[in-house]
Amino acid sequence: MATTTTVSHPALPLFNGDNYPSWSVKMKAYLKGYDLWDVIESGTKVPPLRDNASAAQIKQYHEETAKRYKALSFIHGVVTEPIFSRIMACKSAKEAWEKLKVAFQGSDRTRHQQVMNLMREFEALKMKDTDSVKDYINKVEKIVNQVTILGGKLPEDRVVEKVIISLPERFESKISSLEEAKDLSKITLTELFNALQASENRRAIRNDEKVEHALIAKMKGKSHGESFANKVTSERKDKEKRSPPAGKQQYRTNRNVPCSHCKKKGHAESSCWFRPNVICRACDQQGHVERVCKNKQIKNKEKHGLTAKKAEVAEECLFMVGSGTSASDAKQWLIDSGASNHMTPKSHYLLN
């Protein structure tokens, strides 16, 4: 029983007009993989069949003709609609390829100018302190490959020399060791990249170890300081428990002994309100403090009375008392509804 095998082709690199050199390299490899690049490279037409052609010649003729149409259809399928409108009138794959090359890569003069611009960019390259070896080598190789695609040439020894002289100071010791071990004029870019990356990885590991050790030391110092502070605090609390302050100790000793000043218990003589040598701040007399000053209380009452009197004087009021002939007048009150003063002719109604 015959079986059918289906081959799935990978997606073709789509071209929209940007980065033609990169697209052309991918497309060239793709066409070579399907044995179609010779159609574009040679561009020759298939010779017509002879009248007495054999079956093998007829088969070969059809295969060669199909290859040319297949190559052209591949190019049609990998460009966007605006790009396709430029090559839709082309009769062969070689014609379409050359038209795209001239449109997006330019003439020989234009390609030469592009090569010069890339060479200037190559000479200005310099590795920054923040760049990794991998990123910097990728930048260098990208420019070298673009120069090669455009027809220029950068020898590998020239590229290696450029990388070495543009490295930062942190790779100085590594370059010195390479000079002693190898001839730098014969070292490849791949060997140089591997050596520099190994040095960078070792430096990163050492830096990580330093940071880790610093963190461990910091944590140890912190824990030691905390334990020392906790120890001092604990010792101070134990000392306070064992030996209370002098004032508290004296108070605890004398709280059951009557005070010599006021003859009362529960306080020390030094904190008594009635000490003979203390001066009151309210009346300037010795023997008591302001809190228990009687003169202060009298002054406060007088002050409050004077204030109330002033308030009464400030309020203008007029009361009139009249005597009536009827007996019921004697029982009447004069009520002042706006204040607390009321009048009655019977003094025995009042308690004070």
pLDDT in tens, 320-347: 655 555 555 566 766 666 656 777 777 7
Q: Report whether pLDDT(235) > 50.
A: yes
Other beta carbons within 10 angstroms of residue 261's beta carbon come to 16
Share the mean pLDDT of the chain. 77
Band the pLDDT of 259: cuts 50, 70, 90.
confident
Q: Report whether pLDDT(230) > 80.
A: no
Q: Report whether pLDDT(9) > 70.
A: no
Task: Give pLDDT, residue 105.
Answer: 79
Contact, 295 vs 286, CB < 8 A?
A: no
- Helix, strand, coil share of the chain (percent; to 5): 60, 0, 35
> Which residue type sits at 24?
S
Band the pLDDT of 7: cuts 50, 70, 90.
very low
d(CA 321, CA 145) in angstroms, rounded, equals 124
Which among 144, 4, 128, 15 has a CA at the least distance from the CA of 76? 15
Other beta carbons within 10 angstroms of residue 139's beta carbon come to 14
Alpha-carbon torsion, ordered 137, 142, 148, 150, to 10 deg: -160
Q: Cα dist. 338→59, 105, 264, 317 in Å? A: 131, 108, 49, 10
For the segment 222-238, the average pLDDT, to the nearest whole number, is: 66
Please give the span between the terminal C-alpha atoms of the chain, in angstroms, as a whole number.
Answer: 135
d(CA 8, CA 158) in angstroms, rounded, equals 43
Q: Report whether pLDDT(13) > 50.
A: yes
Q: Cα dist. 152→8, 97, 242, 282 in Å? A: 37, 20, 93, 106
pTM: 0.46
For the segment 230-247, the average pLDDT, to the nearest whole number, is: 64
Band the pLDDT of 250: cuts 50, 70, 90.
low
Highest mean pLDDT among 15-19, 257-261, 307-311: 15-19
High-pLDDT (> 90) share of the chain, %: 8
d(CA 27, CA 93) in angstroms, rounded, equals 12
Contact, 331 vs 345, CB < 8 A?
A: no
